[in-house]
Amino acid sequence: MALEDAKTQIDMAFTRKDLRGPSFELTFGGALSFLRRRYSKDLTGVDIAVTGVPFDQAVTNRPGTRLGPRAIREASALQAPDAPYGWPYDVLSDLAIVDYGDLAFDYADVPSFPGLLTDHIRGILGAGAASVVLGGDHYISFPILKAYAEKFGPISLLQFDAHTDTWVDDDMERVDHGTMFYKAVKSGIVDPARSVQVGIRTTNADTLGVNIIDAREVHETGPKAVADKIKSILGDHPTYLTFDIDGLDPAYAPGTGTPVWGGLTSAQAAAILRGIAGIDIKGGDVVEVSPPFDTTGATAIAGAHVATEILCLLGWNKLT
């Protein structure tokens, strides 16, 4: 069946009739969308909208993450024909998922960007869908969290990262990818006591009460213990999952702006993500994929897998 479909399927990003089901389009041909889902601005009946935010005006070190959404979409074509491995259901067949395209914004008008992004996500949530965002630098999580907190109240943050991104910055208008979770906690949209940061391996004296599972603990205790600890902290609280690709060790994700050695392996990340099935996840993002430094494409591939796992986590709650 797959071979026969591959002979006729092309440009499924535009020609797909059903929002559900696999795609057997040739991985090296056709128009690109995330996992060959249909591009659509119509969210009627949609469970999850995948959307790109090609923004990297907030970086402190190496740039290039504005190209991340495009690279992640391209890498996702490698996964599109198969049900995600390790899950007892196929999220691509059981949920209505669209590629909602990218956020439009004026790259030279940075002050207007946060409000535009919040409005973009607000529209997705207002239509009854969840968002999975392809970044872009990590600042984008802050405007996104504002939209989620409007709907769900102060939310738990589950963050995979080498950095806490809670460095002190009381200027709420300042756009910086290292201070946005300080602002999120201080403005009351994130509940620090019910939040977890995983993979941390840089120094920040004040964690603002956020629970830390650093990279060393992941290595010493293993993915299952980490997943269990995450679930015990989050409980049944509404949660937003953000995955900075530098949470992985540079050996697995070299294409990022601020790489730090000693990070998670891709196998550890996969096991933890699958181990937390059942948390009350409301949405998520994968950020900081920088294609100019991703010479083999490994980082974009990792980003595509992370985004797919977020889809699976969202679908698990809808279907169980």
Burial of 287 (0-12, 13-18, 19+ CB in 10 A): buried
* Residue among 268, 172, 178 at smallest CA distance from 227: 268
Q: Please indicate if the annotation marks 165 as binding a ligand.
A: yes
Q: Please indicate if the annotation marks 244 as binding a ligand.
A: yes
The three-state secondary structure class of 116 is helix
Q: Please indicate if the annotation marks 219 as binding a ligand.
A: no
The three-state secondary structure class of 287 is strand
Q: Please indicate if the annotation marks 177 as binding a ligand.
A: no
Structure tokens at 184: 């999120």
On whether the CB atoms of residues 249 and 261 are closer than 8 A, the answer is yes
Q: Please give the Cα distance from 223 to 9 (Å, whole number).
A: 39
Q: Please give the Cα distance from 7 to 28 (Å, whole number).
A: 13
Q: Please indicate if the annotation marks 237 as binding a ligand.
A: no
Is the preceding omega at residue 136 within 30 degrees of 0, hence cis?
yes
* Residue among 208, 228, 218, 82 at smallest CA distance from 157: 208
On whether the CB atoms of residues 306 and 49 are closer than 8 A, the answer is no
Q: Please indicate if the annotation marks 161 as binding a ligand.
A: yes
Binding-site residue positions: 138, 161, 163, 165, 244, 246
Binding-site residue positions for Mn(2+): 138, 161, 163, 165, 244, 246
